Amino acid sequence: MNYTAVIRTLGKAGEKYQTLLESLDRQTIQPSKILVYIAEGYAIPKETIGKEQYIYVRKGMVAQRALPYQEVDTEYILFLDDDVYLPETAVAQLYQYLIDNKADVISPDVFPNAERSIWGKWMMRLSGRMIDRKDDGKWGYKVMRNSGYSYNGNPKHGVYLSQTNAGPCFFCKKEDFLKIHFEEELWMDQMKYALGDDQVMFYKMYCMGLKQLTWFHSGIKHLDAGTAMVSEEKEKMLIYSDFRFKTIFWHRFIYLSDEEWLSRSWSMLCIGYTLGFALFVSLVKGRLDIFKLKLKAMKDAVSFIKSEEYHILSLIKKNVR
């Protein structure tokens, strides 16, 4: 099995990027190439193992991943953010799980939602953002009708089927990734923080019939180079991006992909509850500024949905196997 490791970066991850490169260098199955897609205008980082090749591309969470990968000449690709740690046998195991389960895409669970506190889980349930489920031995992550997701609350070691996943690390064939035409989703980069790009990418894979797995307790870690104190201004930008994304994702991937009117009606009630609850919480907290910000995000999302730019996007049709 031959694969290429592709990394998206701004070149600012520092020691965490060095950790990633060194963990790639220790893999029992070595990558044929390490290609680093760095945003235009950013300096090439000093961290190195002497094997990286840098390619400048347009900046953006989607733009730096939705690429034709003409430089890749292997069947498989290991997609990475610049702050991931991989145990020595990680790639070998990712590949073996794909083969053993006749799957197309696999991603390790690097955001362990199951470790949330009881209070945290209840707040997520009430908001509809995410809901924990009992282990059914089959499903890891599932997308809900309100743009949120549910997750296995007590997963065992190994792999589960999923409808969405975490994006810092995943493994698949190059041809399977190109099938989803991720470049159609560049609308997410219009927001300063492209929240939800992972959910869009993986759920689109699921809708197009690609069988995807989540590997729990893999030992692969997201070191999170973006961790920092969040300013009030950034927090507001994140809230705006979140609610704009939720509204557009719901319309594009939940509502339009469903042809049954009764099912569509239920989906409308679900998103209505989620958005309404979020507005209600802001009012209860006396945060009229956040209430207005969320409302503006939803209105801007509706304006985009009505735009010509949105209407020319291909329709999402579910072809689940």
316 occurs within a structural domain: no
195 occurs within a structural domain: yes
Q: Which of 222, 257, 288 is the last residue of a domain?
A: 222
Give the number of domains in the chain: 2
pLDDT tens digits for 106-150? 999 998 776 667 777 787 888 888 899 999 999 999 999 999 999
Torsions phi, psi of 194, nearest 5? -80, 65
255 and 218 inside one domain: no
218 and 237 inside one domain: no
180 and 104 inside one domain: yes
**Cβ neighbourhood burial of 265 (10 Å; 0-12, 13-18, 19+):** exposed
Q: Which domain holds residue 9?
A: 3-222
62 and 143 inside one domain: yes
Q: Which of 98, 183, 103, 199 is nearest to 147 (CA)?
A: 199
212 and 243 inside one domain: no
CA distances from 198 to 75, 169, 205, 228 (A): 22, 10, 11, 21
Considering the entire predicted model, what is its pTM?
Answer: 0.93
156 and 255 inside one domain: no
217 and 147 inside one domain: yes
pLDDT tens digits for 59-74? 999 999 999 999 999 9
pLDDT band at 3 (very low <50, low <70, confident <90, very high): very high
pLDDT of residue 270: 95
Q: What is the mean pLDDT of the chain?
A: 93
318 occurs within a structural domain: no
259 and 215 inside one domain: no
Q: Which of 175, 196, 222 is the last residue of a domain?
A: 222
Answer yes or no: is pLDDT of 288 > 90. Answer: yes
102: left (phi over 0), alpha (psi -120 to 50) or beta: left
Q: Residue 133 maps to which CATH number?
A: 3.90.550.10
